[in-house]
Amino acid sequence: MVDIERLANSGALKTKVYIPGKSKQEVKCELGLSKVTKMASNESAIGVSVRAEEAYHEISGLLHIYPDPVSRDLREKLARLLSCSPGNITMGNGADGVIYNLGMAVIGEGDEAIIPETTFPLYETIVKIMRGKPVKTGMDGFRIDLDAMRRAITGKTKIIYLCNPNNPTGDAVEKKEIHDFIASVPEEVLVVIDEAYIDFIAPEEDPCSVTLFTSGRDNLFILRTFSKIFGLAGARIGYGICHEDLVSLIHRIKPPFNVSIIAEHVAAAALDDHQFMARTVDEIRREKELYYRILDQLGLEYVTSHTNFILVDTGLDAKQVFEEILQEGIIVRPCSGYGLPTCIRVTIGTHEENLLFLDTLKHLVSRHKKN
């Protein structure tokens, strides 16, 4: 018998399994339903650009070849778009892969990592695996409390994780606040700004932090993904923007071929389709307006979203709400595990999916009012 306690990296023993949203197939089998709608994992309801699809078919003749270990072509293309050097970019197997690579490269035993109480769970996971110490800071309602994060900095702080816009709240910190925050963080502390959802913020709000980095803030690590706006969650590709020495360090420890030849090609093609991106942002924005209107009518609290999902406070037990909505064939995310016991997170779907969800919620609310 394997003694797993003895065998394990003690950091791994401290982690919990990541629980993804249930799959449609799972729910179809469990509940014997023929149609199930998934609105739980913030995937794109709009799908994939035709250009990415074409690139996917074009690459089929090269599947027997290893990919470029450091995705030179794609990094050059991204560097042109972001006005930085390819040496400032590291690619990964999704933003998740980048979070792991960065954690492996920088976090050591006992290093402190500041993480807001309600945010994307993977930061805490990698800190624990590396036997670092997650230091959780309180929220200001549904907002990330930057003052609390600032106050938590000690001589042992190695890294700070700031998800902007934040998952699961959908709220975003304004650029000026981020600016002031970064200016107040000691230069030896690395600030990770996870911008997985940045493209859903109105461009006039000029939200992205890349200009902060290119104007000289070396202690930034900006994280991006192709899973959301580009609809490439299944391809698994994301990237980080940071100082070239940190890129070199990450490239020493990352798995050599961590980005598939398919992912690199479809991502490069997706970057060219500006119309598709604009359409996605437009449609999501329009659908969010529909949500706000109906949620206001239902008298439910929600967070105005800068992402492709909405956090709704149902005022009821989120797990029960999740189960009741599931019975109708719709998968949403209960946020009890995020410390929000009455909130659910709903990914914006197609117009029909959104109408179906809102109608289901309407019935659920009126049922509970009667009881």
Ligand X SMILES: Cc1ncc(COP(=O)(O)O)c(C=O)c1O
- The binding site for ligand X (CB under 6 A) comprises 42, 94-96, 120, 163, 167, 194, 196, 225, 227, 233, 238
| Closer residue to ligand X in complex, CB, 152/196 | 196
Q: How far is the CB of 88 from ligand X (least distance, A)?
A: 19
Q: How far is the CB of 94 from ligand X (least distance, A)?
A: 3
Residue whose CB is less far from ligand X, 88 or 307: 307
Q: How buried is residue 320: exposed, middle or buried, by Cβ count under 10 Å (0-12/13-18/19+)?
A: middle
Going by DSSP bridges, is the β-strand pair 143-144/37-38 parallel, antiparallel, or unpaired?
Answer: unpaired
* Residues 99 and 223: beta-carbon distance below 8 Å: yes
Specify the residue, 242 or 365, whose C-beta has the smaller distance to ligand X: 242
Q: How far is CA 194 from the centre of its chain?
A: 7
Nearer to ligand X, 171 or 194 (CB): 194
Q: Nearest 5°: phi and psi at 94? A: 75, 165
Nearest distance, CB of residue 85 and ligand X, angstroms = 22
Find the radius of gyration of the CA atoms of the chain.
21
Closest contact distance (angstroms) between CB of 171 and ligand X is 12
Nearer to ligand X, 349 or 360 (CB): 349
Closest distance to ligand X from the beta carbon of 227 (Å): 3
Q: For the beta carbon of residue 98, count every other beta carbon within 10 angstroms.
A: 27
Whole-angstrom distance, CA of residue 108 vs CA of residue 307: 33
**To the nearest whole angstrom, how small is the minimum distance from the Cβ of residue 326 to ligand X?**
20
HEC per residue, 95-138 = HHHHHHHHHHHHCCCCCEEEEECCCCCHHHHHHHHCCCEEEEEC
Q: Phi/psi zone of residue 331: left (φ > 0), alpha (ψ -120 to 50 degrees), beta? A: beta
Q: Which CB atom, from 71 or from 225, has the smaller least distance to ligand X?
A: 225
Helix, coil or strand: residue 199: helix
| Cα–Cα distance, 361 to 340 (Å, whole number) | 18
Structure letter (DSSP) for residue 234: T
Q: Which residue is nearest to ligand X (CB)?
A: 94
List, in sequence order, the alpha helices (H) in the chain. Answer: 4-7, 10-13, 24-31, 50-58, 72-82, 94-106, 122-129, 146-151, 175-184, 210-214, 244-253, 261-271, 274-298, 318-327, 351-370
CB 212, min distance to ligand X, A: 19
Taking the complex as a whole, the smallest distance from the CB of residue 82 to ligand X amounts, in Å, to 17
Q: Considering the complex, state which of residue 139 and residue 364 has its C-beta at the smaller distance from ligand X.
A: 139
Calculate the CA 170 to chain-centre distance: 10
To ligand X, the closest distance from the beta carbon of 41 in angstroms equals 7
Q: Name which of 229 and 247 has its Cβ closer to ligand X.
A: 229
Pick between residue 42 and residue 280 the one whose CB is nearest to ligand X. 42
